[in-house]
Structure 1
């Protein structure tokens, strides 16, 4: 408890990542963040989940979320949504037949952050994830995924539904308002681009001919099930998952099957059912550690959102 209190007390004066951090190999980066940041700030007692900080979101400089390449947030960064989470080390295991390049061909050193948009007693249970795959000598590649903008109601099973980097439009006032906020920095706030994952492999070598999916579906392992009925804290649930668990199967939509060469510019091409039906299995995400809820994972670990179509 004393070590955790000391970390919190010094959090605003926390030394930034070492100057040569970006030059390290992926394994060393992962080990440093995990050992020196995540585990050092592990919660003894879980903090209560927060409501969405709408005012804070309005005043957040969202361009930082889109443009910052670092693995650590800038000082005084405010997480207005997805404020609390659990983080695990993961690896991406590809299928032998995946056509996609770069990190889609496999990545041994990653960090997966599983979170809720906000306190589920306020707006319902809304799972989200952020994946960071680390690269030797280069910035990491990141993407995020949601079940939907409104979540899954009163179903408290984190693994009840698939997640995707593209989510359909919602008619509820709350999601519409948040969409408007994110439109300040992205023409397509309900889509995140996957190009970066295909442009470089985990050793830092660029791909001469990058090929990336239009859309990913992350399908939960059906053997991982938690109670649907509240109340229980998803962070306690995640802490029971053993090391070496296959969490998600990755199904990808080949851009050639989208049916429109200009689909990247078309905000309406999202809900076509055949996309999911024709998506091919390209890999799995497997844990290489336990899940840990920590101060650093909640406040300092940073995941970039890549604008759709490099706007």
Structure 2
């Protein structure tokens, strides 16, 4: 029996050994309370934040495998983040050879198939369980993030006061065509939880699927979990299919989004929380840090510009609303912990499950 490694931190430990060529890994996970700052701590230094919970030693190569192992979900959040990140960063595209080719019929016609659309709500896991094409948000860039929740938050789950939640962010464009006359950026964020499935948040810029015109800066406008109705007839056709597909979800009204333009975060607020005590924001808004942006008239592929954003940068200030028309309450910050990488893994394998529950 040969010991392989030992990783210790305030949040968890994981150790492993091998017998012959067969590796064994076991771990002890702690709950969300392990990922918390002291009361009244509005720490504004990412290096200090990550010292509270991040692993103190490099992880073994054993854990950077794809497809993900059957035991992957039971691992601590920070380990899962590192596994996904290593897969994302393993084979990046060359900046002068970024893919741009879009799916064509009959593959692209699946956007109008309700059974195909609804699988985004029904499938589970952090990787696609099957060879499923990304027909929208086809190409993007991903990196590690840390969601920092301030002590003033009145919400629960991953939005609990003082929480520090590791995650993966993926920026992409709604349409596949990166040369679309109207730039339509958005991001999905995977929040990783100890020993449990990840929770995923989807956002759009405040102009929604109609985009921000010829402004090519991803960080020009706030992003929100709600989007305005589209005026583009081509987009409206797709959204109509999504609207009808939501009716296929089992359960009552609380088990599905209000509609295709309002993406709930209830499931994220329900993590490690008694069902009778869940307090979820009605919507989230992500207010960009203008410093990390670039010239709105840039001719570079947006993925090249994203790759230039420095690790440890503040990406967004996070605001929550109790009602759709309510006031923004600043409840946290979203930090970038790595470079943003465009790669085949995050374009084809990385999966963000749509959360159905709205109440």
- TM bucket by the smaller chain? 0.7 to 0.9
The aligned residue for residue 285 of structure 2 is 217
Relative contact order, CA 8 A, sep 6+: which one is greater? 1
Q: Does structure 1 retain, via aligned residues, the 8 Å contact 2:156–2:273?
A: no
Unaligned runs of 5+ in 2: 1-64, 248-258
Aligned-pair RMSD on alpha carbons? 1.9
The aligned residue for residue 303 of structure 2 is 235
In the alignment, the residues of structure 2 paired with residue 233 and residue 127 of structure 1 have an alpha-carbon distance, to the nearest angstrom, of 12
In the alignment, the residues of structure 2 paired with residue 153 and residue 79 of structure 1 have an alpha-carbon distance, to the nearest angstrom, of 24
Are 1:94 and 2:149 counterparts? yes
Are 1:110 and 2:164 counterparts? no
In the alignment, the residues of structure 2 paired with residue 279 and residue 247 of structure 1 have an alpha-carbon distance, to the nearest angstrom, of 18
In the alignment, the residues of structure 2 paired with residue 184 and residue 42 of structure 1 have an alpha-carbon distance, to the nearest angstrom, of 37
Cα shift at 1:140: 0.3
Count of aligned residue pairs for this structure pair = 273
Q: 2:314 aligns with which of 246, 265, 269?
A: 246
SS in 2 for 1:109: strand
The aligned residue for residue 41 of structure 1 is 91
The aligned residue for residue 77 of structure 1 is 132
The aligned residue for residue 265 of structure 2 is 194
The aligned residue for residue 68 of structure 2 is 17
In the alignment, the residues of structure 1 paired with residue 318 and residue 242 of structure 2 have an alpha-carbon distance, to the nearest angstrom, of 26
Cα shift at 1:123: 4.5
Larger Rg: 2
SS in 1 for 2:358: helix
Q: Does structure 1 retain, via aligned residues, the 8 Å contact 2:267–2:357?
A: no
SS in 2 for 1:184: helix
Q: 2:203 aligns with which of 130, 145, 159?
A: 145
Aligned in 2, Cα 1:15/1:162: closer, same or farther, shift over 3 Å?
Answer: closer
Aligned in 2, Cα 1:65/1:123: closer, same or farther, shift over 3 Å?
Answer: farther
Misfit runs of 4+, over 3 Å: 50-54, 205-208
* Cα deviation digits, residues 168-202 of structure 1 (max 9, x gap): 112220221111121232261111111111111xx
SS in 2 for 1:232: coil
In the alignment, the residues of structure 2 paired with residue 103 and residue 213 of structure 1 have an alpha-carbon distance, to the nearest angstrom, of 11
SS in 2 for 1:113: strand
Cα shift at 1:69: 2.3
Are 1:127 and 2:185 counterparts? yes
The aligned residue for residue 183 of structure 1 is 243
Q: Does structure 1 retain, via aligned residues, the 8 Å contact 2:265–2:281?
A: yes
* Cα deviation digits, residues 153-176 of structure 1 (max 9, x gap): 111011111111111112220221
Q: 1:294 aligns with which of 340, 343, 356?
A: 343
Unaligned runs of 5+ in 1: 1-13, 259-269
The aligned residue for residue 5 of structure 1 is none
Q: Does structure 2 retain, via aligned residues, the 8 Å contact 1:221–1:246?
A: yes
Deviates more, 1:176-185 or 1:91-100: 176-185
